[in-house]
Structure 1
Amino acid sequence: MSSSSKSRGVFAAGMVLSALALSGCSMFSKSAPKPADLGPNVPVIAVSQAWKSSMGKVEGIVLEPRVIGDAVTVASDAGEVLSLNARTGAVAWRVSLGTPLSAGVGSDGRWSAVVSKSNELIAVEGGREVWRKQLPIQVFTAPLVAGNRVFVLAADRSVYAFDAASGQRLWVQQRPGEALVLRQQGVLMPVGNTLVTGLAGRLVGFNPDNGSIRWEAPLASPRGTNDVERLVEIAGRVSRVGESICARAFQTTVGCIDVERGTVAWTQPAAGSDGIDGDEKAVYGVESNGTVIAWKRADGAKVWSSNRLRYRQLTAPLVLGRSVVIGDSTGEVHMLSREDSAPLNRLSTDKSGVAAAPVAAAGTLVVVTHDGGIYGFRPE
């Protein structure tokens, strides 16, 4: 398996073991079960491609497209960062940073931030690089830009805060490092005046002004007899509705917390590796074998389970209108009903595969592929 953004490599003792994948590599080997034929697409919701743009390949970077208003900011392996108008597909700005990237993109609409494979945090303003700061360790989670600051969750789960205008380091919070961590998007998000991160199976609330910890809510605990079996991480993306934040602990559980109290509302066993999404009634996730599951947001009871997409490499879901939208490794984008998982439409991109969980902005579904295709879809 390659060390692409869909790989589940691990970070260990200062090096990346990208050959070791922790979620179902054998599932997609030559001897693995083949996905069932989906048959002809019968659109229940009429959706068509509105525009297409392109950039460099998305293979080695852990990409999280960032939505701010009508703008979507994305990045490529080779160091290209661009912001598009999601309504029209027009490129607002594009910059080449001249260095391969490991994680991106963070943006607040003014400043954008990415991290290079040489561990540099790079800030861009209006399509112009403004500063670089060397980090002591690798980063696999897109930075967060909020409150005129840039926050970084490093591979050893240390958390950094920088001034967005100058790059001055404001604080760092370091914890005992885990033996292994995931080479994929983690959790780094603002909730009111709290910075919420995922650290070793816990959602942790920080004071963004000084890095002090306000609360910790465990969704999973390490188990097993070796480092691989004991690996517990929170996988982005997460779902927030009011004071409820729901998230996935890698290959262990899905659960929700009350962010105001910092307490766990519920957890349920789940064997997936990518993040989840949700609405006020339910949360939706993809298991490592391609089973799609919906749980009640209130108590975690299972609402439905669908095997229609089993044995396909799937992205984290996006809740959009009536649909749960999921990309796959063949470049197909599946729209399932939130109510009962019935197929609503199937959209096609190129054949290189969907590289990151789909996002939505300006009434447009935006999908990025491994070959760097950026597609905008809208209802007809």
Structure 2
Amino acid sequence: MAMYSFKFPRLALVAMALATAVLGVACSSAPARPKPAELPPVASLIGTRLAWSAQVGQVPDQAVPVVAAGQLLVAGSNNTVRALDTGSGKEIWQVRLDAPAATGLGSDGDTTAVVTTRNELVAMAAGKELWRVRLPSRVFSAPLVAGRRVFVLTGERSVLAFDGRTGARLWRQQRAGEPLVLQQPGVLTAVGDTLVVGLSGRLTGLHPLNGSVRWEVPVAMSRGTNEVERLVDLVAPFSRQGASLCVRAYSAAVGCVDAERGILAWTKPAQGTTGVHGDESLVFGSEADGTLRAWRRASGEVAWSTDRLKWRQLSAPLALGRVVAFGESNGTVHLVSREDGREMTRLSTDGSAIVGAPLLAGQSLVVQTRNGGIFAWQPQ
């Protein structure tokens, strides 16, 4: 069986030395994890087939792919962004950048945007670069392309808006927060006519035309006696169903917000470090110790919890019909039942780390690996 591994999220902290610069600080004192128990033979309660695979070359850990308008947009080797057909995996177009991707990709199906390691926001469409601008500080989150604008969340907790056609900067909103931030993708999305962004432990609703604040909702509160202990940030991915937006605060909480009215539905303590995903009734995630958990979207009540994968290093999930997909650091993709977390089947890839969480691309469950493998499975 081919294997791959996830790089388990580490507490990579960023302290602002200046208003326009951030300094990464890695926390290296984490204790060794207990050895997980051996897994039983594969249950194989659901049939899958490998629909297609592709190779795009080695990719950075943060270069998370995105699906838009029937295309899977991926960053690969030679500083190249590619658009693949979600049905066949065939390349539609590619754009060569002059530096590796530093973030995931954002797209509305027409315009695609990414931030490079040179701290440049690059917009492209149909195989051509449209424009690029230099950003004032480092960026860890994928840009959001919506409403003919490109929005960026920077490492200094600024939100910037650019004209999607010209790259002209339209506005900048700076919000106060704790002096440390995670070097990990955060929350940036649109709900109706509101731009929703994670700032520290809060979800904040902004007016997309001028950046003015419409509402703020705390999901987790900062606590502790020093800056590291007080660190609280919202991490991607998230789960949205209509106006209900559910998110994880790193190693602190999971909560859901009515993002149209700016009202907290609920928040519950949780110790996970990767994002969540869900459907109309449940929100799924994994705790730092590998425990799988489902919360009821309406109330936050725990619907089920299982330690069958305890102490395994798991990715953020993808809710996909009657199953939920989690990746594991030893190269396995676990498909578990949405009803109770029992195993349905396991899948494997090329032996390297998954970049981001599993994705739904057309009718396929898709993952991208650090070595550049793209794998798409469909139910049988």
After TM superposition, the score normalised by the length of structure 1 is 0.94
The one-letter code matched in structure 2 to 1:286 is S
Change in 2 beyond 3 A, CA 1:269/1:325: same
The one-letter code matched in structure 1 to 2:44 is P
**Structure 2 contact 22–156 (Cα < 8 Å) conserved:** no
Q: What are the Cα deviations for residues 152-188 of structure 1, in whole angstroms up to 9, with x where unaligned?
A: 0001110000011110001110123531111111011
2:85 alignment partner in structure 1 = 85
**Structure 1 contact 331–369 (Cα < 8 Å) conserved:** no
In structure 1, what is the Cα distance between the partners aligned to 2:22 and 2:171? 25
2:3 alignment partner in structure 1 = none
In structure 2, what is the Cα distance between the partners aligned to 1:224 and 1:18? 18
The equivalent position to 2:14 in structure 1, one of 8, 11, 21, is 11
The one-letter code matched in structure 2 to 1:297 is R
Change in 2 beyond 3 A, CA 1:359/1:18: farther
1:187 alignment partner in structure 2 = 187
1:307 alignment partner in structure 2 = 307
Structure 2: give runs of 5+ residues left out of the alignment.
1-5
Aligned runs of 1:107-256 on 2, under 5 Å? 107-256=107-256
1:20 alignment partner in structure 2 = 27
CA drift of 1:4 comes to 6.6
Structure 1: give runs of 5+ residues left out of the alignment.
none
The one-letter code matched in structure 2 to 1:295 is W
Q: What are the Cα deviations for residues 175-207 of structure 1, in whole angstroms up to 9, with x where unaligned?
A: 235311111110110111111000010111111
**Structure 1 contact 235–248 (Cα < 8 Å) conserved:** yes
In structure 1, what is the Cα distance between the partners aligned to 2:334 and 2:211? 40
**Structure 1 contact 293–305 (Cα < 8 Å) conserved:** yes
Note if 1:359 corresponds to 2:359.
yes
In structure 1, what is the Cα distance between the partners aligned to 2:202 and 2:77? 30
In structure 1, what is the Cα distance between the partners aligned to 2:159 and 2:8? 22
User: Which is further off, 168-177 or 132-141?
Assistant: 168-177
CA drift of 1:76 comes to 3.5
CA drift of 1:78 comes to 5.4
2:45 alignment partner in structure 1 = 44
1:338 alignment partner in structure 2 = 338
**CA RMSD in angstroms, aligned pairs only:** 1.7
**Structure 1 contact 5–58 (Cα < 8 Å) conserved:** no
The one-letter code matched in structure 1 to 2:179 is A
CA drift of 1:69 comes to 3.1
CA drift of 1:16 comes to 3.6
Q: What are the Cα deviations for residues 42-65 of structure 1, in whole angstroms up to 9, with x where unaligned?
A: 211101111111223234x42332
**Structure 2 contact 15–25 (Cα < 8 Å) conserved:** no
Query: RCO greater where, 1 or 2, for CA within 8 Å and sep 6 or more?
Result: 2
After TM superposition, the score normalised by the length of structure 2 is 0.94
Change in 2 beyond 3 A, CA 1:348/1:243: same
The one-letter code matched in structure 2 to 1:194 is T
**Structure 1 contact 78–101 (Cα < 8 Å) conserved:** no
**Structure 2 contact 144–152 (Cα < 8 Å) conserved:** yes
In structure 1, what is the Cα distance between the partners aligned to 2:324 and 2:363? 15
Q: What are the Cα deviations for residues 209-235 of structure 1, in whole angstroms up to 9, with x where unaligned?
A: 110111111101110011111011011
Secondary structure of 1:229's aligned partner: helix
**Structure 1 contact 201–234 (Cα < 8 Å) conserved:** yes
User: Which is further off, 304-313 or 270-279?
Assistant: 304-313
**Structure 1 contact 294–303 (Cα < 8 Å) conserved:** yes
In structure 2, what is the Cα distance between the partners aligned to 1:280 and 1:270? 21
Q: What are the Cα deviations for residues 325-348 of structure 1, in whole angstroms up to 9, with x where unaligned?
A: 111222211100000101011000
Aligned runs of 1:54-73 on 2, under 5 Å? 54-59=55-60, 61-73=61-73
CA drift of 1:5 comes to 8.8
CA drift of 1:77 comes to 7.0
User: Which is further off, 169-178 or 316-325?
Assistant: 169-178
The one-letter code matched in structure 1 to 2:132 is R
In structure 2, what is the Cα distance between the partners aligned to 1:128 and 1:65? 18
Note if 1:368 corresponds to 2:371.
no
User: Which is further off, 168-177 or 230-239?
Assistant: 168-177
CA drift of 1:117 comes to 1.4
The one-letter code matched in structure 1 to 2:47 is A
The one-letter code matched in structure 1 to 2:52 is W
In structure 2, what is the Cα distance between the partners aligned to 1:110 and 1:99? 22
Change in 2 beyond 3 A, CA 1:232/1:78: farther
